[in-house]
Amino acid sequence: GAGVSQSPSNKVTEKGKDVELRCDPISGHTALYWYRQSLGQGLEFLIYFQGNSAPDKSGLPSDRFSAERTGGSVSTLTIQRTQQEDSAVYLCASSLGPSGSIAGELFFGEGSRLTVL
Amino acid sequence: AQKITQTQPGMFVQEKEAVTLDCTYDTSDPSYGLFWYKQPSSGEMIFLIYQGSYDQQNATEGRYSLNFQKARKSANLVISASQLGDSAMYFCAMRPLRSTLGRLYFGRGTQLTVWP
């Protein structure tokens, strides 16, 4: 498709289980971001990938969170041993590189809503 | 450090009126970009408008305009002729412009309600 695709759109899991969230960015976009949005809150930065550079992991809240981006395209966010406070909408976004016409507008997916019981 | 402040948790405006959503930012970077996004109740994030720190003119996109006051570090969004469909959460964001993109820093958002 033309936009950023995320799956699953909804995920309900039990506390302590691992979950994987997938993001398929817009073709040709070299930058990929993960943000988290808790109910009624703003966007919390998690991690950023840019091309072949080392990712900026400074927003990951704990070592239970990890993300990878394979082949410079699809990304997977993994949350191990989920906790109830991990419940949120996880938003993925992609962007052209610095040569983009307006310095990197982010295009967002529709998010993956995670509920940890 | 970068910081975005949106002081209005909620705003109300009557249909067809104009409304201003406030945003101030703090950065030590000399060059940066400012963004506004709209998030309707359906949850998707929709890009509205962009302003570069060195742009001489205030950005405009249809009914949206950005009132950029660099000395005051403010980047207020003005929506003219409000429509019922403008009811949504609005986020201000900023990114330093460097050789790599880096993260976008978001404010906490303003919930706009347009009433008939």
8 Å CB contact of B102 and A91? no
- A-chain residues near B106 (CB < 8 A): 35, 42-43, 45
Q: How far is CA B80 from CA B16, B23, B41, B62, B98, in A?
A: 7, 17, 21, 9, 33
- Report how far residue A4's alpha carbon sits from residue B29's, in angstroms, rounded to the nearest whole number: 30
8 Å CB contact of B104 and A110? no
pLDDT at A110 over 80: yes
- B-chain residues near A42 (CB < 8 A): 91, 106-109
Amino acid at B73: K
Q: How far is CA A30 from CA A25, B47, B51, B88, in A?
A: 9, 18, 22, 29
Q: Is B33 on the interface with A (CB under 8 A)?
A: yes
pLDDT at position B14 is 97
Smallest CA–CA distance, residue A109 to chain B, in Å, is 7
DSSP string, A26-62: -TT--EEEEEEE-TT--EEEEEEEETTSPPB-TT--S
- % of chain B exceeding 90 in pLDDT: 79
Q: What is the pLDDT of residues A18-58, one digit of tens each?
A: 999 999 999 988 889 999 999 877 899 999 998 888 899 99
What value does the mean pLDDT of chain B take? 93
- Report how far residue A64's alpha carbon sits from residue B14's, in angstroms, rounded to the nearest whole number: 46
Smallest CA–CA distance, residue B83 to chain A, in Å, is 23
- B-chain residues near A98 (CB < 8 A): 99-101
Amino acid at A117: L
Residue A112, exposed/middle/buried by CB under 10 A (0-12, 13-18, 19+)? buried
8 Å CB contact of A41 and B108? yes
Looking at chain B, how many residues does it have?
A: 116
- Say which residues have a Cβ less than 8 Å from residue A4's Cβ, sequence separation at least 6: A23, A24, A25, A26, A92, A93, A94, A107, A108, A109
Average pLDDT of the residues in B45-50: 93
Are the C-beta atoms of B91 and A42 separated by less than 8 Å? yes
